[in-house]
Amino acid sequence: MAVQLAPLGRLLPIAGLQLGTAGAGIKHTNRDDVVLIHLTSEQASCAAVFTRNAFCAAPVVLAKQHLASTAARYCLINSGNANAGTGAAGLQAAQATCQAVAELHGGSAEAVLPFSTGVIGQALPVEKIRTALPNAIQALSEDNWTAAAKAIMTTDTQPKGFSRQVEVQGQTLTVTGISKGAGMIRPDMATMLAFIGTDAAVPSELLQRCLAQAMDVSFNRISVDGDTSTNDACVLMASGQGAVQISNEQDPAWTVLCETVTEVCQALAQAIVRDGEGATKFITIAVEGAANREECLAVAYTIAHSPLVKTAFFASDANWGRILAAVGRAGLNNLVLEDVQIDLNEVNIVRQGGVSPEYTEAQGQRVMQETDITIRVQLGRGEVSDQVWTCDLSHEYVSINADYRT
């Protein structure tokens, strides 16, 4: 049940970046579950960020190694199996799939970045993926983003993708991205999986900076359930086949690229929250007047991760005391309670250390019936503000995760 998540529109092709999908029958037999992305030009560059979970999956380990050793030319993605918690055998399996791409389509295995998502602790079915690869290769096309967005889904109810095209000094710049994720979402770098492409020519070190900046205000600002996955990864690919060329951060196109990539990342990140497992509410937690960003995020994530807050929103219950309690336990030293103000949308619920004199239960109830709600917390400690996006916690979330392996 996605919360006001618009249907997937047309995703713009990226010159020099091809995608192909195929069905390997890893978990389901009636859908594509393997994606191959090919950066066709030698001018292409690639940047990536990965989960900080200590039990990171075998494909994460291997993708890091490959990215550090040579220029990436392929991304190989499978859904239905995470290849995490699989030890040395998992690494060998991931390497075998990379080798299969190299043998079938050329290049070296090190030029392939593997990615997996799905159930943890199960052996990766290498032969199923190897058998499906010829079909994925045959399907390679620059206009295949939508098919790829569907193939990487697990518990997602809708595919997630977003495109943006802008003009830079008379030249057209295109950015298109897809992502997947609905549960086990509290990324410590990115989301479960996201793949973003641009036709600009950008050196890899600049591309990495662009991605890091975008992550910090998009995928690093979302939470569905407070769990960071073993497989989180986000890749930014620059094909170099468009008119825009960027050589340094002083180039006027650099700022435009970073802004556009950030816009795409924020759209993809918010789509993940709107499609959170069992979600019925999309909640923005905006913290203002903090002394620093750490205070903002401490308060925002304490609220976002509170089961009591999240279940109250699911019930449309204006139990604002749960929000107040979350702010109080966020760990801020010397918090002056009289300076704290809390609003739900336009309704002030807490002021000067207690309930607002103007607040009524009817006002709170009206706001809680809405699907898009902003919790605004003003701390009165400084000038810094930040925000986090989350969702409610429903019966359906429990059912989805209780039945995940059946």
Q: Which has the closest alpha carbon to 223: 268, 186, 179?
A: 186
Instruction: List the domain boundaries for the chain.
Output: 17-274, 282-402
In 3D, which of 86, 74, 238, 265 has the Cα closest to residue 160? 265
Which residue numbers are catalytic?
Answer: 191
pLDDT of residue 243: 96
Nearest to 309 by CA among 225, 371, 240: 225
The pLDDT assigned to 15 comes to 98
User: Helix-strand-coil percent breakdown of the chain, rounded to 5?
Assistant: 35, 25, 40
Residue 189 has pLDDT above 80, yes or no: no
Q: What percentage of residues in the chain have a pLDDT greater than 70?
A: 99
pLDDT in tens, 103-156: 999 999 999 999 999 989 999 999 999 999 999 999 999 999 999 999 999 989
Answer yes or no: is pLDDT of 403 > 90.
Answer: no
CA distance 241 to 246: 12
Strand partners, 390: 283
Q: Length of the chain in residues, anyone? A: 406
Second CATH level (architecture) for the domain 17-274 = 4-Layer Sandwich (3.60)
pLDDT band at 187 (very low <50, low <70, confident <90, very high): confident
Q: Is the pLDDT of residue 190 over 70?
A: no
How confident is the model at residue 1, as a pLDDT? 60
Question: pTM higher than 0.85, yes or no?
Answer: yes
- ∠ at Cα 250 (248, 252), nearest 5°? 105
* pLDDT tens sequence across 298-336: 999 999 999 999 999 999 999 999 999 999 999 999 999
Please give the average per-residue pLDDT across 233-259, as a whole number: 97
Q: Which pLDDT band holds residue 193 (cuts at 50, 70, 90)?
A: very high
Q: Which of 86, 78, 93, 75 has its CA nearest to residue 26?
A: 78
On the question of a common fold for 17-274 and 282-402, the answer reads: no
- Measured between its terminal Cα atoms, the distance across the chain in Å is 20
For the cut 80, the answer to whether the pLDDT of residue 188 exceeds it is no
**In this predicted model, what pLDDT tens digit does every residue of 47-67 receive, in sequence order?**
999 998 899 999 999 999 999
In this prediction, residue 191 has a pLDDT band, given cuts at 50, 70 and 90, of: low
The listed range with the strongest mean pLDDT (178-192, 217-231, 263-277) is 263-277
Instruction: Please state which architecture CATH assigns to domain 282-402.
Output: Roll (3.10)
The Cα 266–Cα 393 span in angstroms is 22
Is the pLDDT confidence value at 9 over 80? yes
92 CB burial (10 A radius; 0-12, 13-18, 19+) = middle
Q: Containing H/E element for 395?
A: helix 395-402
How much is the CA Rg of the chain, to the nearest whole Å? 22
Strand, helix or coil for residue 90: helix
Q: Is the pLDDT of residue 291 over 60?
A: yes
Torsion angle defined by CA atoms of residues 18, 24, 28 and 31, in that order, rounded to the nearest 10 degrees: 40
